[in-house]
């Protein structure tokens, strides 16, 4: 009740400033302007095409949650054509957005805010495209000795993928706050890139430092639009909680992060409660995203260097066992060592071979992965678009082991089915349950054979084919098979396979966007929320 009262008070205080013009600068004074608590300021950069007043409820909720520990001002600047990227296209062209922020801060001064030390007292928020702009703005006005803000909070967004302003190297604390049901560029599969960096920080710097400085959190059951109540972001998924619950959940995480990073408060009162809240959210995120990282690691494991200093593809090793089509007792005598090749040209010149000793056969396969375009961090899918595996054929392995295969007709399609099986076995409980009840599955089509078994065509031209329709995602492998008595590299099977990580991305996001099952489930969920 206390939180609701504070939230209503804050929203009412902002109502008059919103009424005059939809895209004028918005200033939200602290919930309690008379206490002796530390005074802080948050600058909230709105997302693309979102009216800035749609962030008032979120900002007010954060103020209400933070009110016990600080007097938090919030300004939400109006940005040109509701697209901050126009005003901050790069670090060298960001002054128009900076001017808008300063204009909003001037409005706060007119209402009684007294500017202090920005590097200690001012936080920078951004949602969606606003998070991208906030990241650029931070960089544009940083110097080697000073930083323009105390910390950065990106919601449904992220910082640079790597470099000086990647998560691990960011010069100030960063909260990455994303959601399970984001239908766009901050989808879980994309967020996993920064989650992996968080986990690496846990390993290198310790859990406490990673939690304090670079927490990456995915909130369950929320969608991308929940950060801007009243505005439905195109392509988003349907949230599974009410807007009120979503707003409160996001607000309590941001408020806890601000509390942790308010120096005076930390010195006076160790924020155990805030730390536990963040730690709990991170624990759920780990359960949710660990499967995706495991699936990605099947594409390439850089630590396995038996046959290539670039690593190995565990999936290709599994696929070779599958393609062999052996009985279990014979398969136990088959060993596979894969060699990964980062470039297609190196893959072209690698060919599978084998060594036999006693009753065992060791096969050396070749692998490579291709990825979706990600120009200036604009790609949405981080999983491999395909895993290319050069393997020995069923016939060659049967010949060398002097056995009869139980499935001599196995094809690349079996590997795609295996990728889906692996993904489903790894998936977090929430992912699997939602996918099974709402999602569109997979349709496994016959392999597409390479023209005249020309190896370079398979390497450079032929690709795994994915086609989305109303009922499923259809998949067809590009395959090349040479006879055991052929003239050129006889007894080989080449396949372009589906990645288990790509399957998980589909399960978590796009599979539940449309189709009869999804529409029915979304309608029921919407009714439940209204009730």
Residues 463-498 have pLDDT tens digits of 999 999 999 999 999 999 999 998 889 999 999 999
Give percent above pLDDT 90 in the chain. 85
pLDDT score at 517: 46
Mean pLDDT of 300-321: 94
The owner of tokens 């949650």 is 65
Give the model's pLDDT for residue 325.
97
Q: Residue 119: which pLDDT band, with cuts at 50, 70 and 90?
A: very high
- Token pair 């950069």 is found at 45
Torsion angle (degrees, nearest 10) of CA 53, 59, 60, 64: 180
Q: Which residues of 281-291 are buried (b: 16+ CB within 10 A; e: fewer)?
A: bbebbbebbeb
2-295: CATH architecture: 3-Layer(aba) Sandwich (3.40)
Residue 525 has pLDDT above 80, yes or no: no
Count how many Cα atoms sit within 13 Å of the Cα of residue 443 in the half-sphere of its side chain: 12
User: Which pTM value belongs to this model?
Assistant: 0.90
Which one is predicted more confidently, 9 or 513? Answer: 513
pLDDT > 70: percent of the chain: 92
- Other C-beta atoms within 10 Å of 440: how many? 23
Tell me the C-alpha distance between 516 and 518, whole Å: 6
pLDDT digits (tens, 9 = 90+) for 137-193: 999 999 999 999 999 999 999 999 999 999 999 999 999 999 999 998 999 999 999
Say which range, 372-381, 415-424, 440-449, 509-518, has the weakest mean pLDDT: 509-518
- Comparing 121-125, 191-195, 527-531, the range with the smallest average pLDDT is 527-531
Which pLDDT belongs to residue 4? 36
The pLDDT value recorded for residue 305 is 87
Instruction: Compute the average pLDDT of residues 206-234.
Output: 96
Residue 89 and residue 131 in contact, taking contact as beta carbons nearer than 8 Å? no
Give the C-alpha separation, 326 to 334, whole Å.
Answer: 9
pLDDT band at 521 (very low <50, low <70, confident <90, very high): very low
- Band of the pLDDT at 213, cuts 50, 70, 90? very high
Average per-residue pLDDT for the chain: 91
Token pair of 135, please?
């990241």
Cβ-based neighbours of 478, under 8 Å, separated by 6 or more? 412, 447, 448, 450, 458, 462, 463, 464, 465, 495, 496
Average pLDDT over residues 429-451: 97
Closest CA to 37 of 326, 207, 262: 262
Give the pLDDT score at 301: 95
pLDDT for residue 22:
53
- Tens-place pLDDT, residues 347-379: 999 999 999 988 899 999 999 999 999 888 888
Check residue 208 and give its pLDDT: 92
Q: Are 218 and 178 in contact (CB under 8 A)?
A: yes
Q: How confident is the model at residue 516 (pLDDT cuts 50, 70, 90)?
A: very low
pLDDT of residue 19 exceeding 60: no
Give the span between the Cα atoms of 178 and 190, in whole angstroms: 10
pLDDT (0 to 100) of residue 33: 67
Q: Token pair for residue 133?
A: 């702009």
Place of tokens 């195109």: 234
Sheet holding 472-476, edge to edge: 441-444, 472-476, 465-468
What tens digit of pLDDT does each residue of 69-97 get?
999 999 999 999 999 999 999 999 999 99
Please give the structure tokens belonging to residue 493.
């099977």
3-state secondary structure of 167: coil
Residue 9 has pLDDT above 60, yes or no: no
Alpha-carbon gap, residue 248 to 147, rounded angstroms:
30
Sketch the domain layout of the chain as residue ranges: 2-295, 298-517
- DSSP β-bridge partners for residue 40: 72
Rounded-to-integer distance, Cα 256 and Cα 281, Å: 11
The DSSP letter of residue 309 is: T
Ramachandran angles phi, psi of 11, nearest 5°: -65, -40
């Amino acid at each position: 009740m206390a939180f609701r009262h504070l939230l209503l008070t804050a929203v009412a205080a902002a109502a008059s400033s919103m009424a005059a013009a939809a895209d004028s600068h918005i200033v939200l004074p602290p919930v309690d302007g008379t206490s002796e608590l530390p005074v802080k300021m948050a600058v909230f950069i709105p997302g693309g095409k979102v009216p800035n007043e749609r962030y008032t409820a979120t900002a007010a909720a954060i103020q209400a949650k933070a009110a016990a520990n600080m007097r938090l001002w919030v300004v939400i600047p109006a940005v040109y054509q509701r697209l901050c990227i126009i005003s901050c296209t790069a670090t060298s062209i960001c002054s128009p957005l900076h001017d808008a922020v300063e204009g909003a801060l001037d409005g706060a001064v007119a209402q009684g805010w007294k500017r202090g030390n920005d590097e200690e007292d001012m936080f920078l928020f951004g949602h969606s495209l606003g998070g991208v702009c906030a990241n650029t703005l931070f960089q544009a006005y940083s110097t080697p000795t000073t930083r323009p803000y105390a910390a950065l909070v990106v919601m449904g967004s992220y910082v640079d993928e790597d470099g000086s302003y990647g998560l691990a190297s960011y010069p100030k604390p960063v909260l990455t706050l994303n959601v399970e049901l984001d239908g766009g560029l901050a989808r879980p599969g994309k967020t996993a890139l920064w989650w992996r960096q968080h986990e690496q920080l846990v390993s290198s710097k310790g859990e406490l430092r990673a939690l304090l400085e670079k927490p990456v959190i995915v909130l369950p059951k929320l969608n991308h639009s929940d950060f801007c109540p009243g505005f439905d972001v195109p392509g988003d998924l349907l949230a599974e909680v009410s807007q009120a619950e979503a707003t409160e959940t996001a607000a309590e995480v941001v408020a806890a992060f601000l509390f942790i990073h308010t120096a005076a408060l930390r010195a006076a009162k160790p924020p155990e409660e805030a730390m536990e809240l963040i730690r709990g959210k991170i624990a759920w995120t780990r359960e949710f995203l660990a499967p995706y990282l495991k699936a990605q690691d099947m594409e390439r494991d850089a630590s396995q260097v038996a046959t290539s200093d670039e690593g190995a593809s565990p999936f290709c090793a599994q696929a070779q066992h599958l393609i062999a089509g052996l009985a279990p007792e014979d398969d136990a005598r088959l060993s596979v060592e894969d060699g990964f090749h980062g470039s297609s040209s190196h893959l072209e010149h690698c060919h599978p071979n084998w060594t036999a000793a006693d009753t065992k056969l060791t096969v050396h396969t070749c692998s490579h992965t291709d990825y979706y375009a990600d120009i200036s961090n604009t790609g949405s899918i981080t999983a491999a678009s395909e895993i290319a595996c050069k393997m020995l054929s069923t016939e060659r392995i049967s010949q060398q082991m002097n056995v009869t295969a139980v499935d001599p007709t196995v094809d690349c399609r079996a590997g795609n089915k295996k990728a889906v099986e692996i993904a489903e076995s790894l998936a977090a409980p929430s992912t699997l349950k939602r996918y099974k009840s709402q999602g569109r599955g997979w349709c496994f089509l016959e392999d597409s054979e390479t023209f005249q078994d020309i190896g370079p065509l398979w390497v450079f031209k032929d690709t795994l084919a994915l086609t989305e329709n109303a009922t499923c995602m259809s998949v067809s492998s590009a395959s090349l098979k040479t006879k055991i008595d052929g003239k050129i590299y006889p007894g080989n099977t080449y396949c372009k396979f589906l990645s288990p990580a790509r399957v998980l991305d589909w399960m978590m996001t796009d599979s539940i966007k449309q189709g009869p099952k999804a529409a029915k489930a979304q309608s029921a969920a919407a009714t439940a929320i209204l009730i």
